[in-house]
Amino acid sequence: MSFNINYKRKLFLYYFSIFFILTAAFVVFQYEREKQFRIAQLESTLNGVTDLTNNFIVSNQLIARNKTELIDSLLQIIPTIHSRITLIDNKGKVMFDNFVDDFGQMENHLERPEIQKAKYSSTGAGSNIRNSATTGQVFYYYAHYYDAYFIRVAVVYDVQIKNFLKAERLFLVFIAFVFVILWFILSYVTSKMSESITKLKDFAVHLRQNKTLEYDYQFPENELGVIGKQIVEMYKKLAETKNALSLEKEKLIKHLLVLNEGVGFFSPEKNAILTNTHFVQYLNLIADKSSIHPEHIFEMGELKNLHKFIKKYVQKNDVAINPHFLPQLEFTLKKGGYYFVVKCIVFQDKSFEIYINDITKLEKRKLLKQEMTSNIAHELKTPVASVSGYLETILNNKDIAEDKKNHFIEKAYKQAARLNTLIDDIVVLNRMEEDVDSNDFEAVLINKIVQEIVEDCEGRIQQHNAVVKAEIPDSVTVKGNDTLIASVFQNLVDNALNYAGDNVQIKINMYHQDEVFYYFSVSDNGIGIPQENLPRIFERFYRVHSGRSRQMGGTGLGLAIVKHAVNLHKGEVSVKNGTNGGAEFYFSLPKYVG
Ligand code: ATP
Ligand code: MG
């Protein structure tokens, strides 16, 4: 409220001063005019006195008769004059003065201003206001020049403000009355105006407290009110747009935070404005340090390219940014087994975005694909060459013995079969990479699968004089893909039969379980795997004795499939040689929960 009072008082003071100055100017002007008028009036009266005195002198020939002192008698006849009358000849000598007895002794009066003025003015009259040396009072001197002499009249000067004010009392009362009326009008107008201003002030206060949109503003119907209404409406629109914008911004920020890529926005001064967690994580990996700050990116020796780019486009003031072709940088970086792609875009205001993405998987997959393609080609070459070799021998030797011919055909058939399994394995591996979706996992009964596999292998088991002991409770149910899980057990049993040797015992167990996983083992007591080959045994196409293994029809993909399948189920697989020398495989698979 103090604002309101203040504002009103100020407005009043402002108008009042204008009014006061105008009135004062008017009074001064009026006073000056009045003064002029009175002087004119006085002069005309005094002129009457000089004329009268002159007539008296002329008609009584006072000069010629040298009887100027007789002027006194004129003043006695007309006592209303009450003035000092001085007669001065044109040389300045005083010839009579009714206030001074021995006027003959008075100093020369030619240099008195009123005498000088009277002598040289066209009207023959002159006046002057000054202190009288004789009486000490202020006198109004009026002199008239009559050819041979000057007649001067002096009266006490009383054109005083006091008298003027007395005369103009009515005028002052009128002025006061006008002022009161004006004051009422003014206070009405100011309160009307201040109402709008107060509302605007309220609005501003609410604005600061962020409560504007709940407040209903009714402005008075005047220009200020209209302006106020417009301002409030404009503000409301602005606030709505701002809200919509910040919502969009929030969405963007949320999006940035869940992105798998690292993104950081920086000001032209290289201060971090916004960075997501991946950005910092990737920086840690690149710098090989933990707890790194986003702005440390500008000190990392690994990113010299980036620093140069920023120096060129952000830090140099004379480089303008074309909004249609924002400067961009992109490069890949290899650090400690990781591959990163780093991008930088400079925006028009010289703020910039740095993007870092971990492309290790992609890069590795690319390498693997290349390796796999060459491996496949290599693996295909041998069986295809043998098949065509056998067939060529048969074709070129028409009279070949029947049993030999059959032998070659059998060999060719074996190689073709090998090709078939190889292609099957490749298909399984590829499908695992692309198709398998953990959402499609279902309940898989392990014992059932194992029993089927053992049954299928019955012939080979007998052939190797092996014993298979599968002791898995019927209730063991895994959540997974049954084909993949079957291939895990199948491959391990196949390997034991193929490589462990004859007369072996193969055990299939569920040796442990926890809340989440079942832990299985497939072990044999055969020849085992040489210690130095163990670390690479799960690699694609990796075989211990490649010649022997190939003879057995192996391609080195079996354990790769096992590892991949177990990993797809979030399990782990490992291998070691048991105390009795045979290979022992351990792996976990997730429990199926009803
Ligand atoms: P594929 O399984 O594709 O037919 P493979 O059997 O040769 O071919 P893997 O199953 O990956 O390939 O096995 C890799 C190698 O590990 C085999 O060549 C073999 O030398 C060795 N190996 C695997 N299991 C055993 C085991 N139980 N005892 C001894 N060596 C084994
Ligand atoms: Mg195998």
Going from the Cα of 490 to the center of ligand 2, the distance in angstroms, rounded, reads 9
Ligand that lies nearest to the alpha carbon of residue 421, given by its number in the listed order: 1
CB 317 within 8 Å of CB 344: no
Tell me the C-alpha to C-alpha distance, in Å, between residue 339 and each of 437, 446, 457, 475. 26, 40, 45, 45
Atom of ligand 1 nearest to the CA of 557: 3
Ligand that lies nearest to the alpha carbon of residue 541, given by its number in the listed order: 1
Residue 197 CA to its chain's centroid (Å):
32
pLDDT recorded at residue 566 = 94
Atom 25 in ligand 1: residue holding the nearest Cα: 495
Low-confidence ranges of the chain (pLDDT < 50): 1
Going from the Cα of 499 to the center of ligand 1, the distance in angstroms, rounded, reads 7
Going from the Cα of 571 to the center of ligand 2, the distance in angstroms, rounded, reads 20
Going from the Cα of 366 to the center of ligand 1, the distance in angstroms, rounded, reads 25
pLDDT recorded at residue 1 = 46
Going from the Cα of 388 to the center of ligand 1, the distance in angstroms, rounded, reads 27
> Which of 375, 426, 495, 529 is the pocket-test mutation for ligand 1 (most atoms within 8 Å of CB)?
495
> Which of 415, 464, 468, 499 is the pocket-test mutation for ligand 1 (most atoms within 8 Å of CB)?
499
Going from the Cα of 522 to the center of ligand 2, the distance in angstroms, rounded, reads 13
Amino acid at position 343, single letter: K
pLDDT recorded at residue 443 = 95
Residue 504: its H or E element: none
Going from the Cα of 508 to the center of ligand 1, the distance in angstroms, rounded, reads 17
> Which of 507, 531, 542, 543 is the pocket-test mutation for ligand 1 (most atoms within 8 Å of CB)?
543
Phi, psi of 362 (to 5 degrees): -60, -45
Atom 13 in ligand 1: residue holding the nearest Cα: 556
Going from the Cα of 553 to the center of ligand 2, the distance in angstroms, rounded, reads 9
Helices 402-434 and 558-568 cross at an angle (nearest 10°) of 20
How many angstroms separate the CA atoms of 400 and 405, rounded? 6
Look up residue 425 and give its two tokens: 């394995």
User: What lines the ligand 1 site, CB under 6 Å?
Assistant: 425, 491, 495-496, 499-500, 524, 526-529, 537, 543-545, 549, 554-559, 583
> Which of 507, 521, 524, 549 is the pocket-test mutation for ligand 1 (most atoms within 8 Å of CB)?
549
Going from the Cα of 512 to the center of ligand 2, the distance in angstroms, rounded, reads 25
Structural domains in the chain, CATH included, are: 7-165 (3.30.450.20), 170-253 (no CATH), 259-358 (3.30.450.20), 421-590 (3.30.565.10)
CB 28 within 8 Å of CB 34: no
Query: End-to-end CA distance of the chain, in Å?
Result: 72
Atom of ligand 1 nearest to the CA of 495: 24
Atom of ligand 1 nearest to the CA of 500: 28
- Using only C-alpha atoms, the chain has a radius of gyration, in whole angstroms, of 62
Inter-residue long-range contacts of 448-456, CB under 8 Å, 24+ positions, other chains counted: 448/474, 449/482, 449/485, 449/486, 449/489, 450/489, 450/508, 452/486, 453/486, 453/489, 453/490, 453/493, 454/493
pLDDT recorded at residue 194 = 73
Ligand that lies nearest to the alpha carbon of residue 561, given by its number in the listed order: 1
CB 507 within 8 Å of CB 469: yes
Atom of ligand 1 nearest to the CA of 533: 16
pLDDT recorded at residue 547 = 63
How many angstroms separate the CA atoms of 589 and 570, rounded? 7
Going from the Cα of 449 to the center of ligand 2, the distance in angstroms, rounded, reads 18
pLDDT recorded at residue 101 = 81
How many angstroms separate the CA atoms of 514 and 590, rounded? 10
For residue 8, how many C-alpha atoms fall within 13 Å in the half-sphere facing its CB?
Answer: 18
Atom 27 in ligand 1: residue holding the nearest Cα: 496
Atom of ligand 1 nearest to the CA of 560: 11
Look up residue 267 and give its two tokens: 């000001």
Going from the Cα of 223 to the center of ligand 2, the distance in angstroms, rounded, reads 93
Atom 17 in ligand 1: residue holding the nearest Cα: 543
Going from the Cα of 541 to the center of ligand 2, the distance in angstroms, rounded, reads 10
Ligand that lies nearest to the alpha carbon of residue 544, given by its number in the listed order: 1
CB 331 within 8 Å of CB 341: yes
Atom of ligand 1 nearest to the CA of 556: 12
Atom 2 in ligand 1: residue holding the nearest Cα: 558
Atom of ligand 1 nearest to the CA of 538: 11
